[in-house]
Amino acid sequence: MAHPRIVIAGPYSGVGKTTISVGIMGALKRRGLKVQAFKVGPDYIDPSHHSIILNRPSRNLDAWMVSSEGIIEIFERAVRNVDIAVIEGVMGLFDGFDESDGNGSTAHIAKLLRSPVLLVINAHGMTKSAAPLALGYRLYDPDLRVSGFILNKVAGEKHKNSCKRAIQSATGLPVLGALPFNRDIEMQERHLGLIPQREKAHPEPFLEKLIETIEENIDIDKILYIAKSAEKLPRSRHTVYPEHEHEKNVAIGVAFDESFNFYYQDNLDMLRAYGADIKFFSTIRDNSIPQGVSGLYIGGGLPEMLPEELGANISMLKSVKKVAEDEMPIYAECGGLMYLTDYITDFKNRSYRMVGLLNARSVMTKNLTLNYTLADVVEDNPLSRKGDVLRGHEFHYSKILDVPIDARFSYRMKVGRGIDGKRDAWLEHKALASYMHMHFAYQRRFVKNFLRTCEDYSRS
């Protein structure tokens, strides 16, 4: 079956891909269509906006962390029983982790999924000059199907028409619409990009205004027509999910609230598919971890924005530390790593007590660490075994200070910084805490290893 789908891309970051993608998703949903959203790359924040507008989880498509077969499987599994898929690109259309062939770029994913592409062009400050820009993207890769353009930040009707005529004349492709410059529909940003929708950064009136603006200025019927012209996908094999879901045999507590919400949806779904009963809990509002769990997953997020609330929940801090010292398996990524240290020091140099399992300090800085990562596993841990090779990514403004000289680390970094520039994945009891984020679809045995370790704990 040729699932209708469209990729929303841009020549570079900041042209308005997320705003336009979310607005188009909302407009399609208003028509009574079931819409599935995707995000190219290792982004957690943009998918949160997709998920809110559609009331269904958005999913990531990342070629560094997931094989081509895995990406096709994740896509096909997610689009069953939906009417259309909207895939938001990352950075510029051809920007990837390997500049020689654009591997991991939006173009790479579009070609892999045989999807037509709409290119968003920020028209501010140009008219006819938009035409050679559009033409270059139209012709650069003959294997990529660029199918049309959307203009953003046009100054008025005359400006829109001048750009539209020039682009259509040069490329032979349609301009499907043009958004006027309008601060009322600009999405709010912070140090890691857009503010996650979990924090209700963009309330319903804002989203309604955005959808109305999209409907007034973009030809949704033509987008549907182009999406329906997508080619049939190759059949995928079961390289990520089991052919049949396993019976639930272990309960896993997953921290999910305003501080911890950076999870790949497929990570959670894979845990369920391989036998986990997931019990969500809040590190801010709940007094302790859920009853009956045999492992914890504390993902990334923004604990630096609510450190006072986290530190004030002393009963939760004690609950997490106690089960860790009792050898319960814990997997913590980035924000979760910070939560397990002694203190978090925020951007204003104020320190707040945290769990205290890892005797070090998490300190916010002005320097961004942003990398795809590659690491050798040098010590067995709840997810991986010595000799394994891991791929992931890191994205944070913090650093870990005062790490004890005898701290044990499971990863030796080949690409990326990790905790100290050379090592990552601090191992304390059976808690594994790393700056590296992983997509479990990279190696599904990591899920099986973690759940097996949790089962062993439940029987101990």
Residue holding tokens 């790359």?
41
Residues 6+ away with beta carbon under 8 Å from 305: 199, 258, 259
Nearest to 373 by CA among 403, 357, 396, 356: 396
Structural tokens at position 254: 């997953």
Structural tokens at position 237: 């094999």
Please confirm, yes or no, whether 334 is among the known catalytic residues: yes
Of 93, 107, 176, 334, which one is the catalytic site residue? Answer: 334
Q: How far apart are CA 308 and CA 279, in angstroms?
A: 25
Distance of alpha carbon 418 from its chain centroid, rounded? 19
Distance of alpha carbon 157 from its chain centroid, rounded? 36
Beta bridge partners of 351: 345
Structural tokens at position 452: 């097996």
* Residue type present at position 269: D
Structural tokens at position 124: 């501010």
* Residue type present at position 431: A
Structural tokens at position 118: 């709409």
* Cβ contacts of 325-329, under 8 Å, gap ≥ 24: 325/357, 325/429, 327/429, 327/430, 327/457, 327/460, 328/293, 328/294, 328/295, 328/296, 328/430, 328/454, 328/457, 329/294, 329/295, 329/296, 329/382, 329/430, 329/431, 329/432, 329/450, 329/453, 329/454, 329/457
Report DSSP state, residue 46: H
Q: How many CB atoms lie within 10 A of CB 61?
A: 29
Q: How far is CA 140 from CA 100, 131, 134, in A?
A: 14, 14, 10
Structural tokens at position 156: 């008025």
Instruction: Kindly state the helix (H) or strand (E) to which residue 396 belongs, with its residue range.
Output: strand 389-401
Residues 6+ away with beta carbon under 8 Å from 449: 382, 383, 384, 385
Contact, 297 vs 254, CB < 8 A?
A: yes
Nearest to 241 by CA among 451, 450, 447, 455: 447
Q: Could you give phi then psi for residue 350, rounded to 5 degrees?
A: -100, 135
By annotation, the residues acting in catalysis are 334
